[in-house]
Structures are given as structure tokens and as C-alpha cells.
């Protein structure tokens, strides 16, 4: 299943393959076939149509948690879904539907023990919205192939996501990092949204790359903020961000507009070797020329 087939897979074959990959779907086979047929007919399938009730949510979540305990099962599941995606490579709307149906959905879950998913591939949409990680959270060297959201999540202990790849949009809106956030050498291929996130411990993003827009508007850094050698290929928004300790941007590269309007720095930010895009920027932003004379950003009282 690793290569796209010259013959389009039928809806029945696709449903059967999904049932074999995700057995919890067997109870919902007819509902699944209806969703597939609707997409292939060019009709809209919105989120409400993919909400199959509490029973489906419970079955899907139980299957996800079971795979997380058995790494070989997770790897097999991810491999099968990647194969199915190749089978329908020319039908992106259909894959978007399947990705939602088979998503990793741990929304609002309280995870009491240490959470270790290091090195895993997440082939579908992933939702950790409003989840609480009571212990250490290890998500290093992961690959998130579709949209992922941690919006409103709380990391009570260290959060380690370094060297992970986010191939689509990633949301960390209003996330609370109670202790250190280890976010070094991450690649964000889509939009990365950290709006209103709060870092109570040290935040390390050194060496990460933001290929899409990076939004840290309204984010608060209570301890060290290390963004040295970080690359921003697209717009970087730090509007209204608050840095209460050292803010290190040494060697960072801003290849598009860097927006720092209304940002607060308790200490002069470190900008040695930082490179800013030359050119005009909207009013209220800190322009590259603003650093030419003093080499630093203004500090708000």
C-alpha cells in the first residue's frame, strides 16, 4: 500500500481497509460509507457530520490509548494509514475526512502519569485541546503529518517537543507551560500559533524553523526565553508579548515582517547576530532600522 494504485480504490475497499486498521470503526461501517460517498459526490462534509456521538468518541479514544501503550501497534496503525493516504493521493478532500474520523483525539483528558510518545508519527489530525499533562510530557522527534492542536492544554511538568516536525498547522493557543518548555530544533511547516500562551519556566526554541507564520501575540515569558538561531521564513508576530527575564534572539533570522508592537521587555533583548528583513513594515512594528543605531529594541517601562 506504499505506492499509489493505478486503479482508484473503491469506497467499499477503502472502508474495509479502514476497519482493518481501526477496528473500532466496525460499529460505524454504514456511517463511514455514507461519509466516503458524500465526499466523492462532491458534497460538503462538515465537522458536525463527523461527530458520531459519545460512543464513537469513547471507542476512538480507547483505541488511541491502547496503541500508545503498545508502540508496535501504533507503528502498524500509522503505516497503514499512510498507505491509505497514498491510495487516495488525488482525493485530498477524502483524506481530510478520513483524517478527522481516525484522528488522535485526547481532548480534555487528564493524563496523570508521564506521557511518552517520543519518535512516533501521527498520520492524522491530532487533538490535545484542553488536555492536562500532570507528569512529564515527551513528544520529541515526533512527526505530525496533519493539523495538530494543543489549544488550552496545561503542561504541569516539563514539556519536551524538540526535534519534532509539524507538517501542517500547529496550535498552541493559550497553552500553559508550568515548567521548562523544550522546543529546540522543531520544524513548523505550516502556521504555528502560540497566541496567549504562557511560559512559567524557561522556554527554549533555539534552532527551530518557522516556515509558515509564527504567532506569539500576547504570549508571556516569565523566565528565560531562548530563541537564538531561530529562523522565521514568514511573518513573525510578537505583538503584545511580555518578556519578564532574558530574551535571547542571538543569530535569529527574520526573513519577513517582524512585528513587536506593544511588546514588553523587562531586560534589553539579546540581538547579537540577529538578521531582520530590509524593507518597509506596517506602522507600529519595530523596523530593522530601529536597531541600526543602538543594536537593541526599546524597553517598555
How far is residue 129's CA from residue 188's CA, in Å, rounded to a whole number? 18
Alpha helices (H) in 45-166, listed in sequence order = 54-69, 71-87, 92-101
Kindly give, in sequence order, each residue whose CB lies less than 8 Å from that of residue 162, ignoring residues fewer than 6 positions away.
140, 141, 182, 183, 184, 185, 186, 204
Kindly give, in sequence order, each residue whose CB lies less than 8 Å from that of residue 72, ignoring residues fewer than 6 positions away.
none
Q: What is the pLDDT of residue 294?
A: 30
Low-confidence ranges of the chain (pLDDT < 70): 1-7, 278-301
Indicate yes or no: pTM above 0.75: yes
Torsion of CA 39, 42, 43, 48, to 10 degrees: 40
Strands 253-254 and 275-276, sheet pairing: parallel
How far is residue 255's CA from residue 18's CA, in Å, rounded to a whole number? 42
In the chain, where the domains are located: 10-102, 104-301
pLDDT digits (tens, 9 = 90+) for 29-54: 999 999 999 999 999 888 778 888 89
Asked whether the beta carbons of 62 and 54 are under 8 A apart, the reply is no
Q: What is the pLDDT of residue 7?
A: 56
Q: What is the pLDDT of residue 1?
A: 43
Amino acid at each position: 500500500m506504499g505506492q499509489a494504485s493505478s486503479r482508484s480504490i473503491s469506497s467499499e475497499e477503502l472502508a474495509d481497509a479502514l476497519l482493518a486498521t481501526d477496528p473500532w470503526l466496525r460499529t460505524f461501517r454504514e456511517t463511514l460509507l455514507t461519509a466516503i460517498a458524500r465526499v466523492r459526490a462532491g458534497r460538503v462534509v462538515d465537522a458536525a457530520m463527523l461527530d458520531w456521538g459519545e460512543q464513537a468518541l469513547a471507542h476512538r479514544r480507547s483505541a488511541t490509548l491502547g496503541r500508545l501503550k503498545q508502540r508496535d501497534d501504533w507503528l502498524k496503525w500509522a503505516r497503514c494509514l499512510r498507505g491509505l493516504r497514498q491510495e487516495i493521493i488525488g482525493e485530498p478532500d477524502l483524506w481530510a475526512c478520513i483524517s478527522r474520523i481516525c484522528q488522535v483525539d485526547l481532548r480534555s483528558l487528564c493524563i496523570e502519569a508521564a506521557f511518552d510518545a517520543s519518535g512516533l508519527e501521527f498520520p492524522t489530525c491530532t487533538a490535545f485541546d484542553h488536555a492536562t499533562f500532570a507528569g512529564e510530557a515527551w513528544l520529541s522527534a515526533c512527526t505530525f503529518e496533519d493539523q495538530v492542536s494543543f489549544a488550552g492544554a496545561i503542561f504541569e511538568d516539563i514539556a519536551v517537543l524538540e526535534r519534532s516536525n509539524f507538517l501542517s498547522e500547529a496550535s498552541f493557543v493559550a497553552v500553559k507551560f508550568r515548567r521548562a518548555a523544550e522546543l529546540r530544533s522543531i520544524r513548523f511547516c505550516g502556521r504555528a500559533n502560540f497566541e496567549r500562551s504562557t511560559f512559567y519556566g524557561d522556554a527554549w526554541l533555539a534552532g527551530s524553523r518557522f516556515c509558515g507564520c509564527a504567532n506569539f501575540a500576547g504570549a508571556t515569558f516569565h523566565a528565560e526565553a531562548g530563541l537564538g538561531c531561530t529562523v522565521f521564513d514568514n511573518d513573525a508576530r510578537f505583538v503584545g508579548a511580555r518578556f519578564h527575564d532574558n530574551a535571547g534572539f542571538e543569530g535569529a533570522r527574520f526573513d519577513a515582517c517582524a512585528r513587536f508592537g506593544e511588546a514588553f521587555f523587562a531586560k534589553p533583548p539579546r540581538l547579537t547576530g540577529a538578521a531582520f528583513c530590509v524593507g518597509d513594515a506596517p506602522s507600529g512594528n519595530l523596523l530593522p532600522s530601529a536597531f541600526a543605531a543602538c543594536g537593541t529594541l526599546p524597553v517598555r517601562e
